[in-house]
A and B are shown apart, each in its own frame.
Chain A
């Protein structure tokens, strides 16, 4: 069965510090991978998606970047965090038209 791992679960970072969130998927090959963010009181916003190694599409301009160094690994990064980067970050995967399956999320607080 497929599983998705996302870490860390919570993170408190000072403004201006770098960020690296990692997500890995097991039990499937060639998944589409996604990073979503849920800001306080708002819905889920798609940040990045990837249909293959090294292929990243950005949905919204922002202070973040994503990379996919391996088929089942997706990394969300920032060189310098802003206060507005605080939120709940979710990694997800999908295969074909199955909808997306989510990890447990990372609560990021930028202070």
Chain B
């Protein structure tokens, strides 16, 4: 049962354009969402997060949007840069004594020149 889904396994975007990565979830108990970026043979690095009490969080070129009614979140990268090429994972969590992140399957972003 895949509770967090990233339906696009890959995405190619031109440098300078906007990259939009999408994520859907099924568990309405999730109340905290995160995006991670992963390069090959490395651990994921935290990018940006959003709490369910918000619908938008911005950090530099990265903005995460949350639509709770649709159980959907998206990551916008503007402008996209070649160094953004990586696999992006969305993750969801819910209130508890430990963070037990549930990850999506990832989207590979390729930013072309």
Q: How many A-B residue pairs have CB under 8 A?
A: 65
Q: A43: CB under 8 A from chain B?
A: yes
Q: Which residues of A contact B106 (CB under 8 A)?
A: 43
Interface residue tally on A, bucketed by range: 20 to 34
B99 and A97 contact, CB distance less than 8 A = yes
Per the bound structure, the CA–CA distance linking A52 and B36 in Å amounts to: 25
- As a 0/1 sequence over residues 25 to 46 of chain A, the CB contacts with chain B under 8 angstroms (1 = contact) are 0000000101010000011111
B97 and A51 contact, CB distance less than 8 A = yes
Q: Which residues of B contact A36 (CB under 8 A)?
A: 103
A97 and B105 contact, CB distance less than 8 A = no
Q: Which residues of B contact A44 (CB under 8 A)?
A: 44, 89, 91, 101, 103
Contact of B98 among A9, A32, A45, A101 (CB under 8 A): A32
Interface residue count for B (Cβ, 8 Å)? Answer: 26
A43 and B104 contact, CB distance less than 8 A = yes
Q: Which residues of A contact B97 (CB under 8 A)?
A: 32, 51
B43 and A97 contact, CB distance less than 8 A = no
- As a 0/1 sequence over residues 58 to 80 of chain A, the CB contacts with chain B under 8 angstroms (1 = contact) are 01000000000000000000000
List 17 other contacts, CB 8 Å, given A32-B99, A94-B99. A43-B105, A43-B106, A46-B100, A46-B101, A46-B102, A51-B98, A59-B100, A88-B41, A99-B49, A99-B91, A99-B93, A99-B99, A102-B36, A102-B44, A103-B43, A104-B43, A107-B41
